[in-house]
Amino acid sequence: MRRAVVERTEKNHIGFGKIILFGEHFVVHGAEALVAGIDEYTSCRLELTKGQPGICVVDGRPAVPGYIVEKAEEQRLAHRLVFRHLNIDTSVDGVRIHLGGPLVPTSGIGASASDVVSLSRALSEMYGLDLTEDEVN
């Protein structure tokens, strides 16, 4: 398992949102679509919680009322998948994830993807992974 090389990230890692202009079923069904990136993004910074296992999320994004609570379990699963994929163990020293940025989490704007992209970039810094853009995406 990987060990953190810093106790907190210095950079503000971001993942951009998107909009689907045509072909809204491309994610689920693999159909062709026209998608555009947008300026809004999710930002992520991390703190190591030495001696405190697990993952804690502090979500400061400007969300649609109820959305963050409604999607919390999906977010936990997505975060766990990223940690597992990157071979990062939080059973001894945990990680506090601080999410922010101007992207308003709602369905269809790429909030989940921008969350895990910004998290992946931040984990790359904290654990010295040197992930490329291709590896992040």
Q: Is residue 7 part of a domain?
A: no
Tokens of 74: 């999906």
Token pair, residue 132, equals 């490329």
Question: Does 63 have pLDDT greater than 90?
Answer: no
Which CATH number do you get for residue 55? 3.30.230.10
Measured CA to CA in angstroms, residue 28 lies from 32, 33, 127, 128 at distances of 11, 12, 32, 33
Q: Is the per-residue pLDDT at 26 higher than 70?
A: no
As a whole number, the mean pLDDT across the chain is 93
Q: Cβ(99)–Cβ(63) under 8 Å?
A: no
107 located within any domain:
yes
Distance of alpha carbon 20 from alpha carbon 48, whole angstroms: 36
- Say whether pTM exceeds 0.75: yes
Can you tell me the mean pLDDT for 93-118?
A: 94
Report how many domains make up the chain.
Answer: 1
Q: Specify if 2 maps to a domain.
A: no
